[in-house]
Structure 1
Amino acid sequence: MTRYVVGVDFGTLSGRAVVVRVADGAEVGTAVHEYRHGAVERTLPATGETLPPHWALQMPSDWVDVLRHAVPAALRDIDPADVVGIATDFTACTFLPVLADGTPLSDVLPAEKHAYPKLWKHHAAQRQADRINALAAARGEAWLARYGGKLSSEWQLAKALQVLEEDPAVFARAERFIEAADWIVWQLTGVETRNACTAGYKGAYQDGGYPPRDYFEALHPGFGAFLDKTDGPLSPLGGLAGRLTAEAAAWTGLPEGIAVAVGNVDAHVTAPAAQAVDAGQLVAIMGTSTCHVMSGAALADVPGMCGVVADGIIPGLYGYEAGQSGVGDIFGWFVGFLEGGADTHDRLTELAAAQRPGQHGLVALDWHNGNRSVLVDHHLSSVIVGQTLATRPEDVYRALIEATAFGTRTIVETLETAGVPVTEFIAAGGLLKNTFLMQVYSDVLRRPISVIDSEQGPALGSAIHAAVAAGEYPDVRAAAAAMGKVKRAVYTPDEAAADVYDRLYAEYRQLHDHFGRPGGNEVLHRLRELREEVAQ
C-alpha cells in the first residue's frame, strides 16, 4: 500500500491542505479554503462594533471550516484509507481564551471583543509589552535575554495581560488560554496538548518553566492565574498528540484513529520542508510578513530576536527566530492606492525592474506594521526619504522592496555579530513568485539564495511531522531528507548592484538607528500618540 499523510497550514486569510506521499514527499493533492471572516480588523462580526486601532482577531469557526472543506477536496484523487497521519501548523502568536472543554469563549460571549482569538498581527498590546519588558529588566529576569531583551506585543503575555486589564470579566471567565496551533489539534483529537515550539517562542517558556508567579503578580494583581490557565506538559515536535476522533474523521473524510501530530508554528515547520535541518541554514518564509528561522549549535543572546529555544525547530539544536511584521502587506498597502490589483503588482514590478539600483534616489524604512526584529517596537511607522515631484509609483514600489531586503540584512548581520553564523539563506513563501524581488534580496544580502521547491512549504512541513508521528520515519531529520524539497543557489548576487546596495544600506541603517533606537528622534512615537489622541 502506498501511504500518504496530510498537512494543513492555517494562514492569515485562508487554510490549505496538502496530501503528501510518505516515501518521497510527492504532493498528490492540494486545496485552499478562504476564511469567511478573513482577518477581523475593523468591526466585530457579532455586533458591528468598531474595533480600536491595531486590533486583529479571527473566528474559530473559520478554522474548522478548513478541515471540513480543504481536506476533503485535497483527498479527491486518492483513497483516504491510505492516509496514515495528519498534522497542522498555525500563524503565531494566535491566541484564544476557551472553556475547560475547549469551547472558544467567543462562542459564549460573542459581544465581547476580548473573548475572540487575537491574531498574530494584533498590535494593540504594545503598552502591556513595554511594561512586561521594563519589569523583567528591572528584576533581572534571566529569560528576557532569550528574546533579545524585549518580549513582543504579538506574544502571549502581552495579549493576555491586555485581556486582564481591559476586560477582567473575560479573563476570569476564561478557564484556559491556548495557542490556535494547539486548539485545532484539540478539535482533531479531543485531547488538550501544548507544543514546545509555541510555548517557547510565544509564551516565554524556558529551561523547564514559565516566568515566576510573583513576576506575573507584580505586573498586575491576579495575573498569576494566567499560569494556571496555561499549565500542562509540553509535547515535542513530531510527537503523537493523539488519534483522529470520529467527529473529526467525519469533517475531513479521513479514517478515524489515524495519527495526529503535535501542533507547530507555520514558519518553524517550514524548515524541514526546505531540508534546513543543520546549524546555520536560515529559512525566510516570505509572505504578508516574513519570519526568519534557523538552528544553531550553541546558545547565544542575540539582540532583538523573537526567541531562541532549545529543540525549538530541530531536536538537538537551538532554534532562533526573528521576523519582519510587514513585507507583502507593505506592497499590498501601496498598490491599494492604485487601481488594478494583481495587474498593478505585475506592472510596477516590470517598471521597477527596468531601473538601475539607486536610480530612484529613495530610501525607505519597512515599518508600516511596526518592527518585530531587531528593534521590537510596534509603535514605529515607516519613513520614505528622497521623494521629489519627479518620483513615480514604480520608484516607491522598488524602494519598498529594497527596504524589506535591508530589514532582512539587518537581521542576518545581527545574528552573525552575536556569534550565530548564517551558512545558507533559503527562501520560502508566496513572494518567491516575484523573481525580481528575489534578485534584489540576493544583491542586498550579497549571498546566494536557495529556494524551497514547493509552493506549500508549511503544509509540506506539517506533512513531514505527520509522517514522524505516524511512525513512518524515526525523526524529523530522516523524514526531511526523504520528503523535503529545495533548489540550491537559485539566485546569486550581481556584484555591481551589490556595491550600490551597500551604499543605500548604509543610509538605511542611519535612518533605522535615528528613528528606532533609544536616544534617537522620537517623532514616530509622538505622531502615533497624536493620531490616537485625536481619534478618541
Structure 2
Amino acid sequence: MEKRYVIGIDFGTESGRVVIADVEQGGELASHATLYRHGTIVEKLPGSGKALGQDWALQHPDDYREVLKQSVREVLRISGVRPEQVIGIGVDFTSCTILPVDAKGQPLCVQERYRNEPHAYVKLWKHHAAQEEANRINEWAKESGETFLARYGGKSSSEWMVAKVWQVLNEAPEIYQAAYRFVEAGDWIVQQLTGNWVRSNCSAGYKAFWHKQDGYPPRQFFKQLDPRLEDLTDTKLAGDVLPLGTRAGELSAEAAQLTGLCPGTAVAVATIDAHAGVAGSGAVRSGQMVMAMGTSLCLLVLSHNEVSVEGVSGVVEDGMITGLYGYEAGQPAVGDLFGWYCDQAVPGYVQEAAAKEGVSVHTWLEQRAAELKPGQHGLMAVDWWNGNRSVLEDADLSGLIVGLTLQTKPPEIYRALLESTAFGTRKIMEAFEEAGVHVNEIFACGGLPKRNRLFMQIYADVTGREIKIAAAAETTALGAAIHGAVAAGTERGGYPDLAAAAIQMAKVREETFRPIPENVAVYDDLYRQYIRLHDVFGRGGLVMKELKRIKRKLSNHSE
C-alpha cells in the first residue's frame, strides 16, 4: 500500500507553521513557517494608522491565508509528498482569537466599509481590552446564581469569546449588527477550507461557556446581562458544535487551488493550539499533564473526574482526548516575558557582548544565569507582565521584582524571571492537587523546552517533578496532523480515535529533566516568599490596579 501522510497547520501568535507527518511512523517529515506580515497590531491600524486603545491586540486574517498559500505548498515540495498521498488535514489556533465575518465567511475588516474600524479586525487571544465586560459577566453570574462559571474556576476572562463580543456591541454596535457570526479563528480557517460552518467543542467549551450536556448558558442569562445579547447564542454564535477528531468536511475546490492539495481531502474540526500538544506529546491517560511552553504557557491535565479547581480556565469533557475531562490553566506571559526583558530592558553592553560572541541576547543571559545557584541573586519576581490567567484570573495585575540593588546584574534578573514563571506553574499545580485532580506524569512541548535547558531544569527543581520532553520539534502542529489522521478515518487509512493515533504517531525524547535535591530545598524556601507576594499583591493589594487606573485616565485625557 502506498504511504499515507497528514498535514497539521499550527497558527501561533507570530507565525503559522505547517508540518507533514507519516501516518504510520509519526514525527515530522517536513515543516515550513510563514511569518504574519502584519504581526500583532497593538498601537494603530495598518493603512489608516488609526490609534488603538490600551490592552488591544489585533491581527489581520489575510496573514492566515498566506500561511495556507505558502507553507502548505512548501512542505509538499520539501518532503516530495504528492498531494494525493495526503489523507487528512488538521488545524490548531491560538485561542480565544476571534473575528466577525459576513454570511460568506469574509472578514469584515477586509471590506472597504470597515477597514478603519478596529472592532472589525481579528481580536488576538491576548486582547485584554474587554476586561470591564469580563468583570460584569463574573458579577452577574454570581448575583444570578448561575453555576456554569464553576467550570472555569469561578471567573471568566477578558480573553474569551463573550467578553470580546460584548465589547464590540458596546463600542461598535454597527460592527456587531453587520457580523453574521463571530467565530474562533480556527473555526474560520476550517470554514475557508471546507465551506462548512462548524464550531469546535474544544474552543466552544473552553472559551465560550458551552457544555456537552447543557449547551450554552440560557438565553435569560444573556438577556439579563444585556437585553441586546438575548439571542447571542442563536445568532452570532450559531453553528453545530462538533467533537475533536470529527471530520468537519472535505477540502473544497477553491481551497485545493489555494493550498496545492487535492479536493475532497478530509479536514478535521479545529482545536486550540496548546490543546493539540496533548495528542502531539502522546498524553492520552488520566493523571498526565502537558505544559505547552511558548509565548504563553498552558497547563493541560487529563482526568476521569470533573471537579471545581481554583482559577482553572476550563474543564471540558472530550475537550482534549475523547473519554476524558481536559482541564486547562495557564500563564499569559512566559516566552513573551523573557522576550520583553531582552528587547526592552537589558543594557547596551549586554547586546554588544552577545553580538561579539555571535549569540543571541537570550543565549548570553542563559549561559551566565546558569552559573548562579538558586537563591544567589537575592531576587523574587511575580510573573504577571501580561496579567494573571491562573489562579487569580485578573488581567489588571502587572509585573513585580523584589530585591533589586545597585549591584544587581542582568543575568540575575533574567534568572529571576525564569524562576517566577516556574513558581507560577507550581501554584497552579498545587491548585489541581488540592482539588483532587492528581498529576502523575508531566510532558513539556513547545519552543522553550528545546531552546533553554536552564529553564527546564528550573522547572524540574521548582516543581520537584521529572519532566519529559516531546520529541517532535513542532508538537502542536504534529498534534493537529494527528487530528487530521482521525478525521480521515480508518476507511482512508487513518485512525479510529485520538488516543490510537497519538500512541502511534507521537514520541518523547529519551532525555528527561529530573529535580536536583539540593536545588529543590532552596526553591521550596523561595516558593514560600513567592506565595507571600502572590497573595499580598494578587489577592489583597490594589496597587497594580490603581496604577493601571491612573495610566488609563491620563491616556484617555491625552487623547
TM-score (norm 2): 0.94
Query: Is residue 231 of structure 2 the alignment partner of residue 213 of structure 1?
Result: no
Kept in 2, the 8 Å contact 1:238–1:465? The answer is yes
The range that moved more, 479-488 or 136-145, is 479-488
Residue in structure 2 matching 1:88, options 88, 91, 97: 91
- What is the CA deviation profile of residues 315-352 of structure 1, one whole-angstrom value per residue up to 9, with x for unaligned ones? 11111000100001111111113353861111110111
Whole-angstrom distance in 1 between the partners of 2:47 and 2:152: 36
Say which of 461, 477, 480 aligns to 2:499. Answer: 477
Further displaced range: 56-65 or 41-50: 41-50
**Alignment correspondent of 2:183:** 178
Kindly provide the amino acid, as one letter, of the partner of residue 524 in structure 1.
M
Equivalence map 1:408-423=2 (5 Å): 408-423=425-440
**Separation of aligned partners in 1, 2:406 and 2:462:** 27
Deviation at 1:146, TM superposition (A): 0.2
8 A Cα contact 1:133 1:151, kept in partner? yes
Residue matched to 1:103: 106
Distance 2:65 2:529 in 1: 47
**What root-mean-square deviation, in Å, do the aligned CA atoms of Structure 1 and Structure 2 show?**
1.1
* Residues 321, 498 of structure 2: 8 Å contact kept: yes
Partners of 1:275 and 1:350 lie apart in 2 by 31
8 Å contact kept, 2:27–2:506:
no
| Corresponding residue for residue 82 of structure 2 | 79
Report what 2:522 is aligned to: 500
Provide the residue aligned with 1:264 in structure 2: 271
| Structure 1 residue ranges (4+ consecutive) displaced by more than 6 angstroms after TM superposition | none
The residue number in structure 1 matching 2:128 is 123
The equivalences for 1:131-530 within 5 A come to 131-206=136-211, 207-227=213-233, 228-336=235-343, 337-338=345-346, 339=348, 340=351, 343-432=360-449, 433-471=451-489, 472-487=494-509, 490-517=512-539, 520-530=540-550
**Cα contact 1:449–1:488 (8 A) shared by 2:** no
Instruction: Give 1:46 deviation, angstroms.
Output: 3.3
In 2, Cα distance between equivalents of 1:202 and 1:447? 30
Alpha-carbon distance, 1:37 to partner: 0.4
1:283-316 CA-to-partner distances (Å, cap 9, x unmatched) read 0110100011111111110010100011111111
Secondary structure, aligned partner of 2:232: helix
CA-to-aligned-CA distance 1:337-384 (integer Å, 9 cap, x gap):
335386111111011100010000000000000000000000000111
Match of residue 17 from structure 2: 16
Asked if the contact 1:427–1:451 (Cα under 8 Å) also holds between the matched residues in 2, the reply is yes
Instruction: Check the 8 A contact 1:448/1:489 in 2, yes or no.
Output: no
Cα distance in 2 for partners of 1:509, 1:290 equals 19
Residue deviations 1:123-167 (CA, integer Å, cap 9, x gap): 111111011001001111110100000001100011011111111
d(CA) in 2 for partners of 1:202, 1:9: 18
Residue 2 of structure 1 aligns with an amino acid whose one-letter code is K
Question: Which secondary structure state, in structure 2, belongs to the residue aligned with residue 399 of structure 1?
Answer: helix
Q: Distance in 1 between matches of 2:215 and 2:27?
A: 39
Corresponding residue for residue 532 of structure 1: 552
Question: How far does residue 252 in structure 1 lie from its aligned partner after superposition?
Answer: 1.0
Amino acid at match of 1:330: L
Shift of 1:488: 5.9
Deviations 1:379-428 (CA, angstroms, capped at 9, x unpaired): 00011101110101111100000000000000100000000000111111
- Is the Cα contact below 8 Å between 1:287 and 1:328 reproduced in 2? yes
Contact 1:449–1:489 (CA<8 Å) still a contact in 2? no
Does the 8 Å contact 2:88/2:485 carry over to 1?
yes
- Does the CA-based 8 Å contact 1:307-1:322 persist in structure 2? yes
What is the one-letter code of the residue matched to 2:94?
Answer: T
Give 2:322's aligned amino acid. P
Offset, 1:489: 6.5
Higher alpha-carbon deviation: 204-213 or 319-328: 204-213
Residues 163-205 of structure 1: CA deviation (Å, up to 9, x unaligned): 1111111111111111001000000001111110000000000
- Whether the 8 Å contact between 1:26 and 1:483 is mirrored in structure 2 is yes
- % same residue: 50
SS at structure 2 position matched to 1:17 = strand
In the aligned structure 1, how far is the partner of 2:28 from the partner of 2:363?
A: 28
Pair 1:5 & 2:6 matched:
yes
Contact 2:27/2:478, CA 8 A, preserved across alignment: no
Task: Give the Cα separation in 2 of the matches to 1:35 and 1:226.
Answer: 31
> Aligned-pair distance for 1:487?
2.8
1:112 aligned to which of 92, 117, 137: 117
Instruction: Report the secondary structure of 1:426's partner residue.
Output: strand
Letter in 1 for 2:185: A
For 2:172 and 2:83, locate their aligned partners in 1 and report how far apart those are by CA, in whole Å: 45
Tell me if the contact between 1:286 and 1:430 (Cα under 8 Å) persists in the aligned partners: yes
Shift of 1:516: 0.6
Residues 417-442 of structure 1: CA deviation (Å, up to 9, x unaligned): 00000011111111011001000000
Amino acid aligned to 2:516: D
How far, CA to CA, are the matches of 1:374 and 1:521 in structure 2? 16
- In 1, Cα distance between the equivalents of 2:121 and 2:184? 12
1:473-516: CA deviations, max 9, x gaps? 11111101110111366000001011000111000000000111
Structure 1's unaligned 5+ residue stretches are none
**Residue of structure 2 equivalent to 1:25:** 26
